Structure 1
Amino acid sequence: MAKTKKYSIKTTDKKTLEKWYRLLTVGRAIDEKAPNYLKQAIGWSYHAPYAGHDGIQLAIGQVFEKGKDHLFPYYRDMMTAFSAGLTAEELILNGISKDTDPASGGRHMSNHFAKPEWNIHNVSSCTGNHTQQAAGVGRAMKYYNGEGVIISSQGESSVSEGYVYEAINGASREEVPVIFVFQDNGYGIAVPKEDQTANRKVADNFRGFKNLKIIHCNGKDVFDSMNAMREAKEWALENQQPVIVHANCVRIHSHSNSDRHELYRDENERNYVKEYDPIAKYRRMLLRYERFTEKDLEKIEEEAKKIVKDAHKKALKAPDPKPDSIFDYVSPEPYKASKYPDGTHNDSGNKRKLIEALNETLKAEFKANPDTFLYGQDVAHKDKGGIFNVSKGLQQEFGKERVFNGPIAEDYITGTANGMSRFDEKIRVVIEGAEFADYFWPAMEQLVDSTHDYWRSNGKFVPNVTIRLASGGYIGGGLYHSQNIEGALSTLPGLRIVYPSFADDAAGLLRTSMRSRGMTMFMEPKALYNDPKAATPIPDDFEVPFGKARIRREGEDVTIVTYGNTTHMSLDAAEKLQDELDMSVEVIDIRSLIPLDTDTIIESVKKTNKVLVVHEDKVFSGFGAEIAAQISDAAFEYLDGPVMRVGSTFTPVGFNRILEKAILPDTDKIYASLKKLAEY
């Protein structure tokens, strides 16, 4: 982008000045009209007025180039979205949550403006988290030699969030072309900024960051804002480095229509901010420097009223969302495992360990799809590939740009994976979300946001990400090294969860995950990585479909439903019951928790009439509770005994091996429950 002379009231051409005034006038008219929709029970139940931010928001939208740049607006960015190209009608469609709202079809909160097909991204209500996604897009922009920049906008108070610091630190370290705009109006709802930040200007908190440029501007002034945003874009493009633009604004009204600022701002302050109204200032300048007459501006203002009136009429006539559409876009259709539609094979060939299955599948898929990336903590250093060496050798074979280490910041790893996949649908990202599943909790906010991206955007965007986590115990790891978290994760719609027990299923499920659109949580039972019990032959290009259980042992008298480490214990317990009581046990390895193969489970229960649900996680609120509930709902009439469960005690997993053994399930505990149920 070539450097250009600065904008000013004297030098800017009249056509541009008129366009800006029309945008500002129409936008403000909608901003002021929005609360009336709520009063009339038409909608717009959440509205955060932007009045006082007009200058910087106009500038953000004017420097944004659709299809080339990427824009992450926040909930106060109505003028930003309008200046970037959304129509007045589209703003109102979003406000009153119509089916034709381009951001989400009424699925997301009002005032969350977006148009994903233009790269104006649909972002979460969790303010500031999109900074990490913006950093991820920046990484992809740089890798693919894109010509644009990424603009991430937010209020100054949300910069207090830790993930914002991680995003800016990561963008600075990776040197990516992201512009972080802080719209500073002095308040985070009712909390003044002196309670938020050490420096009066929050951007100054980042003064020591390498490769980062900081620009301050008057966000109330159109010309200063335009010059700052153009300077930021030129810098980001030329240097391929991040920029912070700190815009000083005022908030003329309350935080939102559920806030009453007169409770914490006195009359003098409320009158003071009105005096600094950016539109009033711009209008005075247009007249003072004789660029327009009063009559000229009044004509534009009348045209603005008509634009808003027409947009209002059209938006009211737009269709509302249909109730049955709630099931659309929860999760995309996965890759179809056509070669092995039931996820089984003839077990011929040499056995491979589970860790070998994962490593070889990763390498095969990296060869098959050059737009595949892997990163995480400690996954790419010389001959090491993570704590357990699952990714060993990948960086040497596929290079540092496709396989690389991430910081010890689980939410940054997850958030930037989401961002990378926003750059192009063909991209597939595999991350080691944490070195142990127990450490994944800092990433939960980013995970939750990612799981409803597809639904929230009305099918316009889905992150294509596989998250690998080494899970479970039996290694003497104790707290943060031996817990199971899949029960909590299974409450998130939009997230697939798989949990293999054998090497072939690990290979097949990983391949299907990496080839599929959408989010997959790939849980790896680390105790089985090198265990001979989990080793199996693995056909080339083996595939396992989601939601297809595998019957590991046929039986007639009792059914065990299990997955992960306890699959092998269940098979041993079933063999023991056969030997001692001559009773046959059917063992179902579900492999896939979400989606769940309920049909296979119910058919087995109909045959055996008794069922034991076994898993490593806690019995209380573990995933087995959902399995048991579904069996009770769908097959109660076929049961000849209670649905029993075996799992961990309702305690953390202790470090001492004596404590671990007392807590975790084992073959003896499973056998005792199995025998009790068989004799019921």
Structure 2
Amino acid sequence: MKSNVPVNHSIKKTDKETLLKWYHLLFLGRTLDERAPNYLKQAIGWSYHAPAAGHDGIQLAIGQVFRKNKDHLFPYYRDLQTCVAAGMTAEEIIYNGISRDADVAGGGRHMSNHFAKPSWNIHNVSSCTGNHTLHASGLGRALKTYKETDAVVISSQGESSVSEGYVYEAINGASNEELPVVFVFQDNGYGISVPKEDQTANRKVAKNFEGFKNLRILYCNGKDVFDSMNTMEEAVEWSMKEQKPVLVHANCVRIGSHSNSDRHELYRDKNELSYVKEYDPLDKYRRLLLRYNRATEEELKEIEEKVAAEVKAAHKKGLAAPQPTPESIHDFVTPEPYPASKYPEGLHNFDGPKVKLIEALNETMKAEFRKNPDTYIWGQDIANKDKGGIFNVSKGMQQEFGKTRVFNAPIAEDFIMGTANGMSRYKKDMRIVVEGAEFADYFWPAMEQFVETTHEYWRTKGQFSPNITVRLASGGYIGGGLYHSQNIEAALTTFPGVRVVYPSFADDAAGLMRTSIRSEGLTVFMEPKALYNSPKAATSVPDDFEVPFGKARIRREGKDLTIITYGNTTHHCLEAAEKLSKEGIAEVEVVDLRSLLPLDEETILASIKKTSRAMIVHEDKVFAGFGGEVAAMISNLGFEYLDAPIKSRFNLYTSWV
């Protein structure tokens, strides 16, 4: 904003140039909004269209207060007018709607009507309604951390998405941390066909948040251009000045159906449909301009004709623009990792005292925090006085790096993951480590945000990479029972766009942690908690040890049988292999995967080609565990090398005998 004092906009006080500019933006947005369904009817595209008509006032205001490359804007799928008001062109809107490669949001990779321009800080968000609220809070944390006091984050959504739990987590976090975020609720009374009274007891959903400390709540008529503009300017100015969050509740109407797949006449009567059309914000604004002699009919007609020509030209360019190529689906799935080339294959035996796996993780994280001051870590119970997590993996980090870089998060796994996504958007050099849950078993509440984060790089066509390492204490052998001993890697490895690693020894834990933190993209780091302090997992570890992704390690050479394993069971397999060797039964080769995704198919196939027998040993469910994927890969690519069926579910010793 140019001034610390908001302008009091009105039909009489606002200058004519601004009034006509607003009319141009409003008419352009409405023209595109009304044209969108025609593309679907002609089978050209725009398979999803949620009309913005009825939200025009608040959306114009959001777009106009947003300053590109300074503020950050998270629009939702109904924010066509918002994005037009923020400066996106008719061409950019149409490219997105008909999914062309030139789409600035992400090259047509996302469902239409999800407008974005990451190069301006208009962020690409997913279809999960309201989940970008967490990303907005994370980015607000980044603004506060880097003392960027002349900027805000604006997050926009419908009132029904506020029913989602992660929205409360986001606003609670912004309130608790005092973050400069403006949350806008565009209330049109419906969540698809569900009326507001079925969503919340309060007629105005913003009232649900009145008890939140540090949160200012403003109400406005989202159908009225001037009330919306004044309220948004006040919200942005106050948020910047006070460095606290604001909630703007804008009362709107939904003139059309929820989307082009919805028939609102099935649940809205004729009186209501007539009522909402009478309150059309565009028609009201046009009438005001004429009534108060702020514009002539000829001036407005001239604007309308210019818009028609602008949209027609954009339409032609849109139809002529190339489609994404089918093979491009494989581009931008996962960023290129840190090369980890310092220690070539085979150089694994080091002189020096042995350190436990927990010490290797702790020292490696500290070393990486010293190396890159833009590295952060948070999670549940990780930074409380002398305690560093329930297993003390992060012990001493807050004392060395301070509370800004090492801090506790609420017991809200979605919040931990979602704000990591948001904060990592601030700068490419930033690296974030989160303890996604105290135990891997408790990561399930974060799956909404985890899934979202896995496809950010692909969905934005490489414009945004969430550079996040998610630490999870995994596995059994501690007597923990349900929710303290589960393995979830089989579920996590089903998602493209994430790496999953699972070390068995201290050196690999250190090397993979270093590679994870230094790499761009999302990595899940599974830590076998039973091995944290186990002497059998202790090794000597160079200070700068690196391990590449997707490279297994042969822990024991053999010729009669290949055992493929990882994590806790690596040690069981090594012990069993030694027993078989001493008893003269077999020489077993033990392949420690270390990296589950990507998987080192080459090493696995080379080993079974040598031994002609394969056994897979891992912790997890017998049915649909990760070992089943390894078995399928061997059957597909290495069946000709096998002299016996793949074993994956029996006791190692008895199955061989």
- Describe the SS at the equivalent of 1:153: strand
Contact 1:61–1:81 (CA<8 Å) still a contact in 2? Answer: yes
Return the offset for 1:343. 7.5
Partners of 1:482 and 1:346 in 2: CA distance: 32
Indicate the residue corresponding to 1:419 in structure 2. Answer: 422
Partners of 1:14 and 1:341 in 2: CA distance: 69
User: 1:671 aligned to 2:637?
Assistant: no
Alpha-carbon displacement from aligned partner over 1:514-561 (angstroms, at most 9, x marks no partner): 000000000000000000000000011000000010000000110000
* Pairs within 5 Å for 1:335-414: 335-342=338-345, 344-414=347-417
Indicate the residue corresponding to 2:567 in structure 1. Answer: 564
- Describe the SS at the equivalent of 1:423: coil
Runs ≥4 residues deviating over 4 A: none
**Identity over the aligned pairs, expressed in percent?**
72
- Describe the SS at the equivalent of 1:244: strand
Return the offset for 1:302. 1.0
Match of 1:311 among 311, 314, 322: 314
Letter in 2 for 1:104: G
- Describe the SS at the equivalent of 1:644: coil
- Describe the SS at the equivalent of 2:648: strand
User: 1:290 aligned to 2:293?
Assistant: yes
Contact 1:421–1:428 (CA<8 Å) still a contact in 2? Answer: yes
Alpha-carbon displacement from aligned partner over 1:94-142 (angstroms, at most 9, x marks no partner): 0000011111111100000001111100001000000001000000000
User: 1:224 aligned to 2:227?
Assistant: yes
Alpha-carbon displacement from aligned partner over 1:558-578 (angstroms, at most 9, x marks no partner): 000000000000001111111
Partners of 1:174 and 1:101 in 2: CA distance: 35
- Describe the SS at the equivalent of 1:468: strand
Return the offset for 1:338. 2.0
Indicate the residue corresponding to 2:70 in structure 1. Answer: 68
Indicate the residue corresponding to 2:627 in structure 1. Answer: 624
Partners of 1:623 and 1:344 in 2: CA distance: 29
Contact 1:156–1:202 (CA<8 Å) still a contact in 2? Answer: yes
Contact 2:6–2:237 (CA<8 Å) still a contact in 1? Answer: no
- Describe the SS at the equivalent of 1:233: helix
- Describe the SS at the equivalent of 2:217: strand
Partners of 1:329 and 1:616 in 2: CA distance: 32
Partners of 1:195 and 1:125 in 2: CA distance: 22
RMSD across aligned C-alpha pairs, in angstroms?
A: 0.8
Partners of 2:370 and 2:295 in 1: CA distance: 62
Partners of 1:278 and 1:296 in 2: CA distance: 19
Indicate the residue corresponding to 1:112 in structure 2. Answer: 114
Indicate the residue corresponding to 2:9 in structure 1. Answer: 7
- Under a length normalisation based on structure 2, what TM-score does the superposition of the two structures give? 0.99
Contact 1:46–1:109 (CA<8 Å) still a contact in 2? Answer: yes
- Describe the SS at the equivalent of 2:527: strand
- Describe the SS at the equivalent of 1:422: coil
Letter in 2 for 1:672: T
Contact 2:174–2:181 (CA<8 Å) still a contact in 1? Answer: yes
Contact 1:342–1:548 (CA<8 Å) still a contact in 2? Answer: no
Partners of 1:307 and 1:20 in 2: CA distance: 16
Letter in 1 for 2:550: G
Alpha-carbon displacement from aligned partner over 1:291-330 (angstroms, at most 9, x marks no partner): 0111111111111111111110111100000000010000
Contact 1:335–1:517 (CA<8 Å) still a contact in 2? Answer: yes
Indicate the residue corresponding to 1:215 in structure 2. Answer: 218
Indicate the residue corresponding to 1:518 in structure 2. Answer: 521
Match of 1:151 among 144, 150, 154: 154
Alpha-carbon displacement from aligned partner over 1:389-412 (angstroms, at most 9, x marks no partner): 000000000000000000000000
User: 1:468 aligned to 2:471?
Assistant: yes
Partners of 1:125 and 1:87 in 2: CA distance: 22
Partners of 1:111 and 1:347 in 2: CA distance: 56
Indicate the residue corresponding to 1:252 in structure 2. Answer: 255
- Describe the SS at the equivalent of 1:501: coil
Match of 2:502 among 488, 492, 499: 499
- Describe the SS at the equivalent of 1:561: strand
Match of 2:542 among 539, 542, 552: 539
The total of aligned residue pairs comes to 654
Alpha-carbon displacement from aligned partner over 1:353-412 (angstroms, at most 9, x marks no partner): 000000100110000000000000000011000000000000000000000000000000
Match of 1:477 among 465, 475, 480: 480
Partners of 1:238 and 1:195 in 2: CA distance: 37
Partners of 2:346 and 2:134 in 1: CA distance: 36
Alpha-carbon displacement from aligned partner over 1:261-292 (angstroms, at most 9, x marks no partner): 00000011001000000000000000010001
Contact 1:451–1:495 (CA<8 Å) still a contact in 2? Answer: yes
Partners of 2:449 and 2:346 in 1: CA distance: 31
Indicate the residue corresponding to 2:265 in structure 1. Answer: 262
CA, structure 1 residues 13+341, in 2 after alignment: closer, same or farther (shift >3 Å)? farther
- Under a length normalisation based on structure 1, what TM-score does the superposition of the two structures give? 0.95
Letter in 1 for 2:46: W
